[in-house]
Structure 1
């Protein structure tokens, strides 16, 4: 479990102008993050536009990132959905030999009860050969996995090792931290709250902005975990404006605009997403200047 303490980043899937995967840009992004202190990489999460990446492309992404990484940092793979049987089938049919854990989102659209969420993850736990990180993101799923459900799963299933909590609810974080088993990890899925969660006893973050500013963001989280609040908040306040900007329209259009400004990848996204507006791109460019990144 110590593999997942610190900063993980939810990698984008870079696209060329024709919307095919830009593997050269992806290699740059992976190397940039590893070289600058990111502790682990997350493949095919929401930020990776997983819903518009085909099954064959997902296999290609896993293979390519695994090859570039070459065992240097842990890899987490997003496998989730609102059809429990399909999630289990994907787990069983995917080559997980280079994957250290699965990130599985709480069921979306169907709006299951808390018992339904519990039974969904129970079935996934029993089928998975890899550790599982639960993912609660009610802003996208329209269903909040309550702390008591998360903690019940943590206590009942040994291979459920962590939760990426992205409810943007400070009180919910506190309840998870108050009631969790000692060996269960609370990972922030909210970049703006990540430092506060780390200072309160959280184990780190799965970040979006972190992949663009890995050196600064990962150091901030390490300082937070070490309870060095002043040094950590000095970094947090510098990163606040750009962190807010990347979520002002949609994710991952915002972070892709930042990475374009850093000459790592282009801003292209697949429908129904659209690129960041010119106005947002201008604001991001100005903020990168303030940060000394352009």
Structure 2
């Protein structure tokens, strides 16, 4: 079965809940996983950027992956985030993490070293050849400092057998349409921008890997399903009230924004690890005000 069939709809990039002492709160993580599945999301992503992976130790990451598979217990597909800016290290990580039960690996483009398009291509080619699971490319230039062009994405999709999909978060609608025009039929393309997801599905994307769905699993996944069924009137009705939530979530930092929502909903503690800090009090008050409506 292709990823396009398995991962159509809403995937949630899970937060990593922390206790007051900043250790991983596995009880809260279990509660979040159950809430996502009860809300109707199609699949989960563990160790995404939203999970604060830059500040997790390697053993913590392994423990989170193991726990997530145990808790999900096959109810929905799970995608594991394995990326980095040292290609050799990413390849080692692919054999370090327990990926037997993973549906795919989501791998963010190398950050900070700003490779050329050829460098990005060769990085992903090496990673895909080493991966026991299909690779989903992740283009997020706002975080990596380098955009992966439509031409590079399409070249990888056509030339590298184990590259099976793409999370596109450039925010460039023309680039998105070029990828959708030129990709192979079987190739999964999902949005990485909550606020643009509805419009990008209208352009032909297969769904979204979402941050906002951590706080709104049902409303968000219902919106995505309506859009995928070409019921844009329903999708718009569900999406319009969330536009303000998207603004609040990303105003200062991800995942501080979505964690503030989830804290107010009683799902997790409002804890993040430095250098990320919780929302400023004024913005947190705006979140409370939004939720009270």
Range class of TM-score, shorter chain: over 0.9
Matched, 1:171 2:174: yes
Question: SS of the residue aligned with 1:251?
Answer: coil
Task: Report matched runs for 1:248-287 at 5 Å.
Answer: 248-287=251-290
SS for the counterpart of 1:195 is: helix
1:45 aligns with 2:67: no
CA apart distance, 1:133? 0.4
Q: Classify the secondary structure of the residue corresponding to 1:192.
A: helix
Alpha-carbon shift at residue 93 of structure 1 (Å): 2.1
1:24-43 to structure 2, matched below 5 A, reads: 24-43=27-46
Cα offset for 1:176?
1.1
SS at the partner of 1:110?
coil
1:91 aligns with 94
SS across alignment from 1:58: helix
| 8 Å CA contact retained: 2:66, 2:98 | no
2:154 pairs, out of 151, 156, 161, with 151
Question: What is aligned with 1:4?
Answer: 7
- The correspondence of residues 100-179 of structure 1 with structure 2, limited to 5 A, is 100-179=103-182
Q: After the TM superposition, which parts of structure 1 deviate over 4 Å for at least 4 consecutive aligned residues?
A: none
Identify which of 203, 206, 210 aligns with 1:207: 210
- 1:56 matched to 2:59: yes
* Structure 1 vs Structure 2 CA RMSD: 0.8
Structure 1 gap ranges (5+): none
Structure 2 unaligned spans of 5+ = none
Q: After superposition, what is the alpha-carbon deviation per residue over 1:224-244, rounded to whole angstroms, capped at 9, x for unaligned?
A: 111111110011101110111
Q: Deviations over 1:97-134 (max 9, x none)?
A: 12111000111111100000000000011111101100
Normalized against structure 1, the TM-score is what?
Answer: 0.97
Task: Provide the rounded CA distance (Å) in 1 between the counterparts of 2:162 and 2:264.
Answer: 40
Q: Which moved more, 1:263-272 or 1:155-164?
A: 155-164
1:157 and 1:119 mapped to 2: Cα distance? 10
Distance (whole Å) between structure 2 residues aligned to residue 60 and residue 93 of structure 1? 12
Matched residue SS, 2:195: coil
2:291 to 271, 288, 293: 288
Return the offset for 1:175. 1.2
